[in-house]
Chain A
């Protein structure tokens, strides 16, 4: 099971990238949407984990674009400052979940598991 991670903060990205494989997930990590290959090349992705506030295209815009290609893939939008406006936008997208920063690693893990099912043990 592969997670696509887009996060501009090095510490956050490094921490997730290091920990998730221990829990059975494959991770493809990028610091910005621009760095991503063509969406066709991401056929293996099962879950998207994106920061909302990214340099360049926002996590929300990317989520919309990605959803158009891969409607079945659940996505998690991480954000440090959450407005009512953003909450409303996320609520209108059933494929999208909001995860407020700061969060606990275990919190993230249980959310990913709930959306995508438990990873193959190993």
Chain B
């Protein structure tokens, strides 16, 4: 897991820092130790060389020997003296040698056996080569045994030889190697312990952080609302799938780009913090966003602005109003369709009842009339004809009674008067029938004069009248692209006129539309307009119609503003 790798990296960095500082300390100490050794070697060598020179000089003056013999005697004494000593330190020694032809021949070394001569121009024995060449100095280099040594060298002028005091570098390094080993071990242990402690305390913390992050991610990804975050420069830092869906982007296309790409000012723009007011969290503001394809998208946003220790975190929650409005509109359309169906069913039920009640006697009447005709044609006696005509009269009385009953049903219902805003009434009527008109490709328009006073009428019954007129108008139109207009005018003092005009074929002159069962529609009942007329009359109003030029019909309902006279 990423966080665990990070943890390991932190521990590794700590270890590296520890090791580096320990290494630097050791290196400084080692340099110091090396200088110290070099100084001691130089002192020792200088002392020895001076001593040898002194011996040589005293031999020369005391014995009166020739120079070669003096050398021999001095050398013998020095060698005797030194052979008995074992040098200094574990590996330190003094070496004397001289050049003989192409070789350097050792005359004294304090460690081990006699040394074979070495070539004068080889890589080995650099300090001695430089000593016999008359140089004085120091170096860390290979000695005649090819060991790496710290050496100080100087010529012994009296004897024509070179002297080297040297000590193995390994001996100087040994304590530091030991210290590094011990220190490294202790450091490794300390690092291991601290890593363990860190892991022990950090792991639960990391675990809970990870769980919290997973939880938050699940909430973000599953949310129906779009959720975006932006930094204080107004750049989008994250967005959830719902936000991507609302704006039509892939998440990667938005991250790092300005929030203003999607939304009008939310307070997340650069410099918005300075404006103060703009950065105030807004709850449930409706704004228009912009989709990837450029289409505007109505959304509701809630902005929260959190100040972090470094910068700000602006969170914008976006609710898609287009989707919600669509579903609300669909619901409303369903409700209206149901209401329309209910109204039509109500009219249908009334029609069915009247058709049934009147259909029988009227059908019977026609047959009774036929019977009278037949009886007369057969020359039946007056009594038989009289009886048949009497039956007809009885039937007519029955029909008349039914019609009276029906009229009183329509008229006798009490009006539930209320105040009606005529313009609103017309608008609602148009809105209600608009889907049906649209379905048939008919333009339905509504208009009301300004300043029509509130009308006192029974809203439900008046609505039934207008529903009937608009329904008839829509059904009358027999051409594509017809038009139905609903208008409200002031018709005179205290009177309002509601008109419904269509561009249909008009009403044949021989049809009396307000008479029961008169209809021009193939499946019409011939009841709607008679009922409408009864309702209008009950309001103290009037209803009529006239043809329009070049074609069409207009129905007018005139009503007293103050309602029916008491």
Interface residues of A (CB under 8 A from B): 9-16, 18-19, 22, 53, 80-81, 101-105
Of B146-154, B222-230, B366-374, B449-457, which binds chain A?
A: B366-374
Once the chains are docked, how many angstroms separate the CA of A106 from the CA of B208? 93
Q: A15 near B352 (CB under 8 angstroms)?
A: no
Of B175-183, B391-399, B430-438, B480-488, which binds chain A?
A: B391-399
Contacts of A11 in B (CB 8 A): 360-361, 363-365, 367-368, 391, 394-395, 398
Contacts of B363 in A (CB 8 A): 11-12, 15, 101-103
How many contacts between A and B, using CB within 8 angstroms? Answer: 71
Contacts of A80 in B (CB 8 A): 352, 355-356, 359-360
| B337-378 vs A, Cβ < 8 Å mask (1 yes, 0 no) | 000000000000000100110011111111110110010001
Q: B368 near A18 (CB under 8 angstroms)?
A: yes
How many residues on B have C-beta within 8 angstroms of the other chain's C-beta atoms?
22
Secondary structure of the A side of the interface? helix
Interface positions of B from 515 to 529, Cβ below 8 Å from A: none
Q: A18 near B388 (CB under 8 angstroms)?
A: yes
Q: How far is the CB of A59 from chain B (nearest CB, A)?
A: 13
Chain B CB count within 10 A is highest, among A9, A11, A18, for A11
| B116-139 vs A, Cβ < 8 Å mask (1 yes, 0 no) | 000000000000000000000000
Q: A18 near B360 (CB under 8 angstroms)?
A: no
Q: How far is the CB of A101 from chain B (nearest CB, A)?
A: 5
CB closest residue in chain B, given A51? B360
Contacts of B360 in A (CB 8 A): 9, 11-12, 80, 101
Q: A102 near B359 (CB under 8 angstroms)?
A: yes
Q: 7 A-B pairs, CB-CB below 8 angstroms?
A: A10-B394, A10-B398, A11-B361, A13-B364, A101-B359, A102-B362, A103-B363
Q: A105 near B366 (CB under 8 angstroms)?
A: yes
Interface residues of B (CB under 8 A from A): 352, 355-356, 359-368, 370-371, 374, 378, 388, 391, 394-395, 398
Partner of A105, one of B367, B388, B391: B367
Q: A19 near B391 (CB under 8 angstroms)?
A: no
Partner of B367, one of A12, A53, A81: A12
Once the chains are docked, how many angstroms separate the CA of A81 from the CA of B364? 16
Name the 9 nearest CB pairs between A and B, nearest first: A11-B364, A15-B367, A9-B360, A11-B395, A12-B364, A18-B371, A80-B356, A102-B363, A15-B364
Chain B CB count within 10 A is highest, among A10, A102, A104, for A102
Once the chains are docked, how many angstroms separate the CA of A103 from the CA of B360? 9
Say yes or no: A14-B364 contact (C-beta < 8 A), given A19-B371, A19-B374: yes
Contacts of B371 in A (CB 8 A): 15, 18-19, 22
Partner of A81, one of B356, B370, B374, B391: B356
CB closest residue in chain A, given B395? A11
CB closest residue in chain B, given A9? B360
Q: How far is the CB of A11 from chain B (nearest CB, A)?
A: 3
Contacts of B391 in A (CB 8 A): 11, 14, 18
Once the chains are docked, how many angstroms separate the CA of A13 from the CA of B391? 11
Contacts of B368 in A (CB 8 A): 11, 14-15, 18
Q: How far is the CB of A41 from chain B (nearest CB, A)?
A: 27
New A-B pairs, 20, CB < 8 Å, besides A11-B361, A15-B367, A102-B366: A10-B364, A10-B395, A10-B398, A11-B363, A11-B365, A11-B367, A11-B395, A14-B367, A14-B391, A15-B364, A15-B370, A18-B367, A18-B368, A80-B352, A80-B359, A81-B355, A101-B359, A101-B360, A102-B362, A103-B363
CB closest residue in chain A, given B517? A102
CB closest residue in chain B, given A22? B374
Once the chains are docked, how many angstroms separate the CA of A11 from the CA of B358? 11
Once the chains are docked, how many angstroms separate the CA of A18 from the CA of B394? 15
Q: A15 near B374 (CB under 8 angstroms)?
A: no
Once the chains are docked, how many angstroms separate the CA of A94 from the CA of B379? 42
Once the chains are docked, how many angstroms separate the CA of A13 from the CA of B378? 22
